[in-house]
Amino acid sequence: MSDKNQKALFDWLKRLITLDTPVEDEKFGKLKVDFEEWFYQIGGRNIQFVYRKSYLFKPKEAVAQLGVSAVTLNKYVKRGFEYIPKQSQRRIPKHMIPLWKDPVYCLKVQMIHQEKKLRNQTPEERLKEVVEEILGFQMKYKAETSKDAFPVLDGNETNLQDFFEWEGLEEEYDELKRKLNVD
């Protein structure tokens, strides 16, 4: 373990030891996400967290807490919003509500999700996913490429985000095609 990773672990443990009880959901969530981030940085593969039933929201409750629709919650889940699969429906850990509202931790959660996903995905699976995402942009903007859809960026934040995401997907698509020798 490198000095940097060891220091990160000790800092995390110090935070754990100094927590006041009962622990607020947000503080617990941040501690959990920071530990998970550290765990994957040192090469950890799979980590599983188990929660008490009383710590889990039903999707309806999470939707109400977030102030979004069920469709939007499903989009969040695809981006990494933590959920526990149950037989009939998902359950949402309570800490996810404040974390998703915090821009820094929302991004951390999404980045961890993407890293885990990419580690476990074959290049063929990723290529298929990239093609589907590009197709979604093509349909939304009725254009073949990101450059066709955005000849001039107008400063609209949504358009900028879509442009850079689409452009990144196009670059990844070309790289995956080269890697897999696909024409």
Question: Which residue would you say has higher pLDDT here, 1 or 48?
Answer: 48
Q: Which two tokens stand for residue 4?
A: 């940097």
Q: What percent of the chain has pLDDT over 90?
A: 63
List, for residues 76-118, the tens digit of each pLDDT value. 998 999 999 876 778 999 999 999 999 999 999 999 998 888 8
Q: What's the pLDDT at 90? A: 85
Question: How much is the average pLDDT of 110-138?
Answer: 91
Answer yes or no: are the C-beta atoms of 137 and 146 closer than 8 Å: yes
Mean pLDDT of 6-28: 90
pLDDT band at 52 (very low <50, low <70, confident <90, very high): very high
Q: How confident is the model at residue 161 (pLDDT cuts 50, 70, 90)?
A: confident
pTM, to two decimals: 0.70
Mean pLDDT over all residues of the chain? Answer: 90
Q: Is it true that the peptide bond before 22 is cis, omega within 30 degrees of 0?
A: yes
